[in-house]
């Protein structure tokens, strides 16, 4: 019994030692400020595509799931450049709004992404769980064109729409 206790304590000490990691190599204190100064501009650089504000009308699209199906109302919307779109969960959540990164034109992808706060993935808005929650996207700086979108949890149920930016 005494041997078993010793073996357990020794094994635990070995495991803790193995998990302790390596010591960080010593650095030259004179070189450290220069390295920090060189890294500072990279950290201060803005992300590609700053969020553009809504400068026009904010349109509303309802997100609905009920006995007649899952849908966006309206499913097709034409807006002006600079407008915003507010997606409101009405029923049948969770819902989100997502754009397929494979079909969004390259020249629009960075700005659209920058205009989508709290993304759950690339060009995918956060999940809305409760009635009256909303998610607003600015189309400021987004080039004219058609932008197909969908609700990720209900894509198989054909919950899709299109926003046309003029």
Q: Using pLDDT thresholds of 50, 70 and 90, give the confidence band for residue 48.
A: low
Architecture in CATH for domain 58-165: Sandwich (2.60)
Write down the pLDDT at residue 38. Answer: 40
End-to-end CA gap in the chain: 81
Q: List, in sequence order, every beta strand (DSSP E) within 2-159.
A: 58-66, 69-73, 76-79, 84-89, 98-99, 134-138, 145-150
| Cβ(91)–Cβ(154) below 8 Å | no
Q: Indicate the burial class of 21 (C-beta count within 10 angstroms; 0-12, 13-18, 19 or more).
A: exposed
My answer on whether omega of the bond before 94 falls inside 30° of 0, hence cis, is: yes
Phi and psi torsions of 42, nearest 5°: -65, -40
pLDDT tens by residue, 77-114? 999 999 999 999 999 999 999 999 999 999 999 999 99
Residue 56 half-sphere exposure toward CB, CA atoms < 13 A: 16
Which contiguous run of DSSP H or E holds residue 90?
A: none
Query: What confidence score (pLDDT) does residue 127 get?
Result: 98
pLDDT at position 67: 96
- Average pLDDT in the chain: 81
Domain edges within the chain: 58-165
Phi and psi torsions of 58, nearest 5°: -105, 115
Q: How far is C-alpha 120 from the geometric centre of its chain's CA atoms?
A: 4
pLDDT band at 71 (very low <50, low <70, confident <90, very high): very high
At residue 126, the pLDDT reads 98
Cβ contact 41:126 at 8 Å:
no
Residue 130 Cα distances to 64, 67, 96, angstroms: 12, 18, 12
Q: Which residues contact 165 (CB under 8 A, 6 or more apart)?
A: 79, 80, 81, 83, 139, 142, 143, 144, 145, 146, 147
């Amino acid at each position: 019994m005494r041997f078993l206790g010793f073996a357990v304590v020794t094994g635990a000490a070995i495991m803790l030692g193995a998990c302790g990691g390596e010591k960080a190599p010593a650095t030259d204190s004179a070189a450290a400020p220069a390295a920090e100064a060189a890294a500072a501009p990279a950290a201060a650089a803005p992300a590609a595509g700053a969020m553009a504000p809504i400068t026009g009308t904010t349109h509303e699209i309802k997100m609905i799931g009920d006995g007649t199906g899952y849908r966006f109302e309206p499913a097709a919307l034409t807006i002006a450049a600079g407008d915003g779109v507010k997606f409101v969960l009405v029923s049948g959540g969770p819902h989100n709004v997502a754009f397929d990164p494979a079909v969004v034109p390259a020249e629009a992808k960075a700005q659209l992404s920058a205009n989508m706060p709290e993304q759950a993935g690339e060009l995918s808005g956060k999940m809305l769980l409760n009635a009256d929650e909303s998610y607003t996207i600015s189309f400021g700086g987004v080039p004219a064109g058609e932008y197909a979108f969908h609700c990720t949890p209900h894509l198989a149920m054909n919950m899709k729409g299109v926003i046309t930016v003029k």
